Amino acid sequence: MIKKVIAAVVLVSLLTVAIVQAIDKKTEAPQTSSEVSAAAKEGLSIGAKAPDFELKTLSGDTVKLSDLKGKKVMLNFWATWCPPCKAEMPEMEQFSKQIGDDTVILAVNIDPQLDVKGFVNENKITFPVLLDTEDKVNETYQIISIPTTYFIDSNGIIQNKYTGSMKLDIMKKYTQELK
């Protein structure tokens, strides 16, 4: 009988501690507006100017986004270990063969410490693969999940964003909507 009473007291005590801690969390000081807005953001917003960046390709060439002004840009963030990224690569390659000179695909790799060159060769990728070695572009574009693709118009404005593995028809649709 005493064991049951002790067990009940311990259980009630633990429950009381849990409730008090839950109430304390609710009454903590509110976050600043910048903390709230930073937490609420899920990437850059449509209609915003695409932040400029400069990255090296696998072959060592430098690509600067602002140098592509006047062209439509499909800016894709991906990693070699990401199954949805791997799934969309063949369709991105197919799309790269169908686009005209006014459209560019840039695939920003966020895990350059891995064998990106091997992945590109194995999958016969011919569009530019950029290496974000310092993770700066990934952070600037506020990438939360991959793959994430931004569609940037010829004036450098983000017109659309797609998160997840894209099919060819989506790539065509979003780039056709760019001016």
Let me know whether 171 and 94 are in one domain.
yes
Percentage of residues of the chain with pLDDT beyond 70: 79
Let me know whether 87 and 141 are in one domain.
yes
Query: Is a pLDDT exceeding 90 seen at residue 31?
Result: no
Query: Is a pLDDT exceeding 90 seen at residue 47?
Result: yes
Q: Report the pLDDT averaged over residues 5-24.
A: 66
Would 81 be classed as within a structural domain? yes
Let me know whether 25 and 60 are in one domain.
no
Would 151 be classed as within a structural domain? yes
Contact 175, 151 (CB under 8 A): yes
Q: How far apart are CA 47 and CA 36, in angstroms?
A: 21
Q: Report the pLDDT averaged over residues 93-107.
A: 95
The CA-atom distances, in angstroms, between 99 and each of 38, 42, 140, 149, 173 are 36, 29, 27, 16, 12
Let me know whether 62 and 114 are in one domain.
yes
Q: How far apart are CA 118 and CA 34, in angstroms?
A: 41
Q: How far apart are CA 44 and CA 54, in angstroms?
A: 18
Contact 159, 46 (CB under 8 A): yes
Query: Is a pLDDT exceeding 60 seen at residue 42?
Result: no
Query: Is a pLDDT exceeding 80 seen at residue 24?
Result: no
The letter for the amino acid at 44 is: L
> What residue numbers bound the domain in which 11 lies?
2-30
Contact 63, 92 (CB under 8 A): no
Let me know whether 23 and 54 are in one domain.
no
Contact 119, 141 (CB under 8 A): no
Q: How far apart are CA 117 and CA 114, in angstroms?
A: 9
**pLDDT of amino acid 21:** 67
Provide the CATH number for the domain around residue 134: 3.40.30.10
How do residues 124-151 score in pLDDT, each as one tens digit?
999 999 999 999 999 999 999 999 999 9
Which residues have a Cβ under 8 Å from the Cβ of 133 and sit 6 or more positions away? 56, 112
Let me know whether 53 and 139 are in one domain.
yes
**pLDDT of amino acid 178:** 92
pTM of structure: 0.76
Q: Report the pLDDT averaged over residues 2-30.
A: 63
The letter for the amino acid at 87 is: A
Query: Is a pLDDT exceeding 80 seen at residue 18?
Result: no
6 pLDDT band, cuts 50/70/90, is confident
- Greatest CA separation for the chain: 84
**pLDDT of amino acid 121:** 94
Let me know whether 90 and 140 are in one domain.
yes
Q: With CA atoms as reference, report the closest residue to 155 among 178, 127, 130, 128.
A: 178
Q: How many domains does the chain divide into?
A: 2
Let me know whether 13 and 90 are in one domain.
no
Would 41 be classed as within a structural domain? no
**pLDDT of amino acid 34:** 39
Query: Is a pLDDT exceeding 70 seen at residue 114?
Result: yes
